[in-house]
Amino acid sequence: MQESTIPKYRMPKMIDIKSLSTFHYFEFDDTFVDKFEAHEPWELVYIDRGECYVIADDRRILLSQGEMYFHKPYERHKLEMAKGEYPNVLIITFSTPSRAMRYFENQKLVAGLSAKQHIAAILHEATHTYERPFHVPYSGDLTPKSGDTLWGGEQSIMIRLELMLIELVRKNRYYEDSPRMFHSKDIVTDDFCLKVIGYMESRLYEKMTMEELCHALSFSKSYISKRFVGVCGYSVMDYFNVMKIQEAKRLIRETGKNFQEISERLMFSNPHYFSTLFKKHVGMTPSQYKKSCKQD
């Protein structure tokens, strides 16, 4: 039998968690006193309610609700209660050889909506997957439940954790060459940002300035810019350029217009700038894109 000639592609894993060591969810009271420890796995500390200090080597860092800190391997660390505070704290220790984890060294991060959703799902999965009580400090290894478990629970925890870490790296632009996700109109749920996108759609074959947009919507430039970036991940003008490139792709596929005509119709300053911007967002030149469409 002839061996298959289909090329094999090994998918790279930027964040690859090999194992979980411990999983704790503490609801602290005034009797808790922590002790220093250091270990090989990474340790994620997330404050679900209240605030407390993490001691990392010779640093003392205050964490408030919704904030997290990552202890790197062999970092000497412990928790310390803030005066008058009795926090709820999630702690996960896990092993990973991934180089991208360097980003999390000495980092205090704020969990956004997506990270909080991942954490809530991880806590739910762990509660229905592992046997031992999560509130007991310094207890043994994780033990899977013998019954009443969620199918695929352990794998779901690992995937959720990996995805959350990937999103945190992307959000904070650790790798500057990483392309940002373009949030199309179909998946944007913020009404104000939808109004901004709607106005840009009406000006797609024209030039547009922020001043014109501010006048049309009767909001300040700083307010529009901050809110739009927070929701869509792009500045308004960058988003407008991506919309033009998306339209250029449609024109290449569906019309017989050449690249210069498309560049002029969409009001790019010149064909060279259009080609440069197209390659930046599509990953290929307009000519290469046209050729790929014909092949498809």
pLDDT tens digit sequence for 126-162? 888 887 666 655 555 677 777 777 888 899 999 999 9
The reported pLDDT for the residue numbered 170 is: 82
- In this predicted structure, what is the pLDDT of residue 264? 94
Architecture of domain 191-295: Orthogonal Bundle (1.10)
Helix or strand or coil: residue 110? strand
Give per-residue pLDDT as tens, 217-276.
999 999 999 889 888 878 999 999 999 999 999 999 998 889 999 999 999 989 999 999
- pLDDT range class, residue 84, cuts 50, 70, 90: confident
Residue bearing tokens 């094999």: 8
Q: Which residues contact 115 (CB under 8 A, 6 or more apart)?
A: 68, 164, 167, 168
| pLDDT number for residue 32 | 76
Give the pLDDT confidence score for residue 181 in this predicted structure: 66
Cα-based distances in Å from 190 to 184, 197, 209, 214, 232: 12, 11, 22, 17, 9
Starting from the edge strand earliest in sequence, which strands make up the sheet with 77-81, in order? 59-64, 51-56, 77-81
Residue in this structure with the two tokens 């929701």, named with its chain if needed = 231
Domain with CATH 1.10.10.60 in the chain: 191-295
User: Any idea which architecture 19-171 has in CATH?
Assistant: Sandwich (2.60)
C-alpha–C-alpha distance, residues 42 and 21, integer Å: 9
What is the reported pTM? 0.59
Q: Kindly state the average pLDDT of the residues 9-29.
A: 84
**Separation CA 196–CA 200 (nearest Å):** 6
Binned at pLDDT 50, 70 and 90, residue 26 comes out as confident
Confidence band, pLDDT 50/70/90 cuts, at residue 66: very high
Q: Each residue of 53-77: b (16+ CB within 10 Å) or e?
A: bbbbeeeebebeebbbbbbbeebeb
* Residue bearing the bigger pLDDT, 48 or 28: 48
Q: Among candidates 203, 281, 192, 275, which has minimal Cα distance to 240?
A: 203
> Residue 177: is its pLDDT beyond 60?
no
**How does 145-167 read in b/e, with b if 16+ C-beta sit within 10 Å?**
eeeeeeeebbebbbbbbbebbee
User: What average pLDDT is seen over the chain?
Assistant: 86
Tokens found for residue 77: 């660390």
Token pair 């997330």 in the structure block, residue: 46
Q: Band of the pLDDT at 43, cuts 50, 70, 90?
A: very high
pLDDT for the residue 104: 92
Residue 289 pLDDT greater than 70, yes or no:
yes
Check pLDDT > 70 for residue 125: yes
Of the chain, the end-to-end C-alpha distance in Å amounts to 31
Q: How confident is the model at residue 291 (pLDDT cuts 50, 70, 90)?
A: confident
- Alpha-helical runs (H) found in the chain: 113-127, 153-171, 191-202, 210-217, 221-232, 236-254, 259-265, 271-282, 286-295
Residues of the chain with CATH 2.60.120.280: 19-171
| Mean pLDDT, residues 205-209 taken together | 94
The confidence score (pLDDT) of residue 188 equals: 84
Distance separating alpha carbons of residues 107 and 43, to the nearest angstrom:
12
User: From residue 295, how far is each of 55, 143, 271, 289 by CA, in Å?
Assistant: 58, 53, 24, 10
Instruction: Please state, in angstroms and rounded to a whole number, the distance separating the CA atoms of residues 61 and 106.
Output: 10
Amino acid at residue number 143: T
Task: Provide the pLDDT for residue 140.
Answer: 58
